[in-house]
Amino acid sequence: MFRVGIIGCGGISAVHAQVLTSLDNTKLTACADVIPERARRYGCAAYTDYLQMLDQEKLDAVHLCTPHYLHPVMAAEAARRGIAVFTEKPPAIDAEGWEQVKQAAKRVPVGVCFQNRYHPHIRTCKRYLADGIYGKLCGVRAFVTWNRGKAYYTSSDWKGKWATEGGGALINQAIHTLDLMLGFLGEPEQVSASMGNHHLQGCVEVEDTAEIYLKKGEIPALLYASTAYSQDAPVIIELHLEKAVIRLEGDLMTLIEDGKRQEIVCQTDPTLGRSYWGAGHKACIADFYRCITEGQPFDNRPDACETTMNVLLDVYRQAGVPKET
């Protein structure tokens, strides 16, 4: 039985807590949050100092559900104590932080919560590509159009700032889609991007809209992400293959071959947080602990997330993110 702690007891921690209490081999043992009431919300040992929790509780692993900029240093502190780390996305907001996370992974198992890699439709598409049954990949496009207004940012003291969130629409909302696209495309040879702030000027420092062009060989990949839409619409990813087009929209997969359309709906667990988070958290977290138990490499370990992080950080470098804020 893995004794597990959670650091940061805001919104996304509820999904981690629900999964950890549902698995047979994990026990949610302790939580830490700077707000005492939040640290106590799951009925286990509560701390306002995460270092005290790491020192006093005999934890096997810790989940990082804190603001983005804290992930690297917390991963390093846990690794120094021999405690495995499962971190929410993004694992880091700059190259220095990413290096810290990779160094932590040399000491203990470290996993990144790219849970949408576990969606059945994503795995089906990867199998199609590997088998070549619809020919080679010709192109990828994706759209993330969600809604994040002023209240979303003013409700916390870290969102919307370069120094603490590391970015906006891309690093926070569209990072999963970027990760999935790169999983299909592979490491791109060309990356170019533009960013803008259309509806949150004067409210946040970061972008509310990002447009990214990737190319590997002759294969283009296009991503448009914005939080300026009227609602949280389902993410759209489309794969253009030699013999078919596959369109993923939320839990719907549409296969278009020879002018014929086949629609496949994936039934996912509606109780695990919000629908646009994706429903792969349980599969992802369960696999993390399975891999530790069996001594196997976890699919979402840092070196398996290298391409996504390199592209992400490259895009922000191109956008001229200020080094000092």
Question: Under 8 Å CB-to-CB from 50, ≥6 apart: which residues?
Answer: 7, 32, 74, 77
pLDDT along the chain (325 residues), means of 10: 97 96 98 98 98 98 98 98 98 98 98 96 96 97 97 92 96 98 98 95 94 98 98 97 97 93 81 61 96 98 98 92 57
Q: Which domains does the chain have, with CATH numbers?
A: 2-112 (3.40.50.720), 117-270+300-318 (3.30.360.10)
Determine contact, residues 85/104, Cβ cutoff 8 Å.
Answer: yes
What are 243-291's pLDDT values in tens digits?
999 999 999 999 999 989 999 988 766 665 555 546 689 999 999 999 9
| Cα-based distances in Å from 179 to 275, 296, 307 | 18, 22, 8
**What is the reported pLDDT for 325?**
42
List the one residue out of 315, 311, 280 whose CA is nearest residue 185: 311
**What is the reported pLDDT for 183?**
98
- What amino acid occupies position 165? E
List the one residue out of 274, 300, 190 whose CA is nearest residue 12: 274
Find tokens 């934890």 and name the residue.
Answer: 59
d(CA 141, CA 213): 9
Beta bridge pairs of residue 45: 30
List the one residue out of 290, 323, 321, 284 whose CA is nearest residue 304: 284
d(CA 31, CA 45): 6
Count of C-beta atoms within a 10 Å radius of residue 213? 14
d(CA 53, CA 295): 26
Determine contact, residues 7/63, Cβ cutoff 8 Å.
Answer: yes
